[in-house]
């Protein structure tokens, strides 16, 4: 078993795939060994039996799909190493992904963000109030993923990015100079590509104050915070949200909130895709499926 696991681990590293797949494949190989199934000679029926076995453990459909993806990647690895043929890989691919009914995610508005920050700064005792404010505001206005946020270094952040915008002055179109903040999201990221995110000048000024007065030295990352500390903040501030949003509030809620804000502000889905760092536009399209509240808003603003 160890040879297969090591081979698969190296395969994942070379192809920049998630190393967590190793865990799922290790469990799959153990199952095969216990049931006297040779992994390079597995049949569709035997693999189906394994999927049924893990399904009976009451895992979510999302979790089961990850297991299926991991096993598919494992057999592509075996094919690359000439341990199986393409016909066997075709048999593996017959195991289909489970269909998931996607529900509109929980998101917060700018007003709810403001209330959450005000209450958090007033009652939080385990973190500097300004640090709390800049972390929550940065997450909301950049829409970065948790891993991207924790991977940021201070040298990745530019507090004075120069931009030019067309303005009309004295009936003439001219270019005006403006400033905003930006951050470079570097590998490792979900899309395996670097990209830039931007944030308002007001936040850039708050960040400068935070760097000057609260934590001038970087020890961990751009915000000197660990994943445990970040989750502790999220657990604390969610109590200041409306009751219906508390149970499903997480770090990723800020990304959903940023996406919904883009939907309301810009109609160009390609721009939204770029800002969110989605590899597939289908991921962005999910946010452009209007709910009842969005329809009412469009109607009230545009149909008189």
192: left (phi > 0), else alpha (psi -120 to 50), else beta?
Answer: left
Which of 185, 181, 236, 233 is CA-nearest to residue 204? 181
Q: How far is CA 262 from the centre of its chain?
A: 16
Domains and CATH numbers, the chain: 2-92 (1.10.150), 110-145+200-302 (1.10.443)
Q: Is the pTM of this model over 0.85?
A: no
The total of other beta-carbon atoms located within 10 Å of residue 267's CB is: 10
- The pLDDT tens digits for 221-250 are 999 999 999 999 999 999 999 999 998 899
Torsion of CA 196, 199, 204, 205, to 10 degrees: 170
88 Cβ contact partners less than 8 Å away, ≥ 6 residues apart: 40, 42, 75, 79
C-alpha 252/C-alpha 283 separation (Å) is 14
Taking only Cα atoms into account, the Rg of the chain, rounded to an integer number of angstroms, comes to: 24
Burial class (CB in 10 A: 0-12, 13-18, 19+), 203: buried
- Of 303 and 42, the structure prediction assigns the larger pLDDT to 42
The mean of the pLDDT values for the chain is: 86
The Cβ of residue 207 has, within 10 Å, a number of other Cβ atoms equal to: 23
> What would the pLDDT profile of 111-146 be if each residue is shown by its tens digit?
999 999 999 999 999 999 999 999 999 999 999 999
């Amino acid at each position: 078993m160890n040879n297969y696991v090591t081979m698969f681990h190296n395969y994942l590293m070379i192809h920049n795939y998630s190393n967590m797949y190793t865990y799922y494949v290790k469990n799959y190989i153990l199952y095969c060994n216990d049931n006297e199934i040779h992994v390079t000679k597995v049949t569709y029926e035997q693999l189906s039996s394994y999927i049924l076995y893990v399904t009976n453990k009451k895992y979510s459909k999302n979790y089961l799909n990850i297991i299926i993806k991991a096993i598919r990647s494992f057999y592509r690895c075996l094919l690359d190493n000439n341990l199986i043929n393409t016909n066997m890989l075709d048999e593996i691919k017959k195991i289909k992904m489970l269909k998931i009914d996607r529900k509109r995610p929980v998101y917060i508005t700018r007003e709810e963000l403001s209330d959450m920050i005000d209450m958090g700064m007033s009652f939080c005792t385990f973190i500097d109030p300004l640090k709390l404010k800049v972390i929550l505001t940065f997450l909301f206005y950049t829409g970065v993923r948790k891993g991207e946020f924790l991977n940021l270094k201070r040298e990745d952040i530019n507090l004075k990015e120069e931009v030019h915008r067309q303005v009309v002055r004295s009936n003439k179109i001219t270019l005006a100079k403006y400033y905003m903040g930006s951050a470079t999201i570097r590998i490792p990221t979900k899309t395996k590509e670097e990209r830039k995110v931007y944030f308002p000048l007001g936040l850039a000024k708050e960040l400068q104050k935070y760097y000057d007065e609260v934590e001038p030295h970087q020890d961990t990352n751009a915000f000197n915070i660990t994943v445990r500390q970040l989750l502790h903040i999220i657990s604390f501030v969610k109590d200041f949200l409306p009751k219906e949003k508390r149970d499903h509030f997480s770090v990723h809620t800020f990304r959903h909130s940023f996406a919904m804000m883009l939907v309301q502000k810009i109609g160009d889905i390609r721009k939204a895709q770029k800002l969110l760092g989605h590899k597939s536009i289908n991921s962005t399209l999910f946010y452009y499926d209007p709910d009842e509240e969005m329809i009412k808003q469009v109607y009230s603003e545009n149909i008189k």
